Amino acid sequence: MTLNEANQVIQGTIAKAEEMNIKINVAVCDAGGRLIAFSRMDDAIWVGVYGSRGKAVASAGFGRASGLLQERAGSPIISGIVAGEGGHMIVSQGGVPIVRDGQVVGACGVGGGTSQEDEDCAVAGVATLG
């Protein structure tokens, strides 16, 4: 993931949020969960800063949408991984992986709307990469 690609994802994510008339925070991380780019829309809730990054980290780490992990969030394996990683992962809907040539290269996480709105925005942002 390049910075330009991450910013492209952010712009697509924000465009979807504007279309939906919601205020969000959006984080894009690399495959290792390290933050590449972040943006917070004016008047977006401040706690979404943490939610967006945590969902991106979880999505990158598990290679799937973070919401797919939600049912098993309390399982020993998921809890153990989250604890071992340092507690930065949030296994809740709103993060989606960025996959290139079958490999996870990063993830986009969104916080500020409902869980479904967050995921819809993240999906739209990732789709800008083609």
pLDDT tens string 112-130: 999 999 999 999 999 999 8
55 vs 45: CA distance, rounded Å = 16
Asked if residues 24 and 112 have their Cβ atoms less than 8 Å apart, the reply is yes
Would you state the pLDDT for residue 73? 86
Three-state secondary-structure class, residue 111: strand
pLDDT digits (tens, 9 = 90+) for 38-75: 999 999 999 999 999 999 999 999 999 999 998 888 89
What integer pLDDT is reported at residue 20 of this predicted model?
Answer: 98
SS3 at position 96: strand
SS3 91: coil
List of domains in the chain: 3-127 (3.30.450.150)
Query: Poorest-confidence range of 31-35, 52-56, 83-87?
Result: 83-87
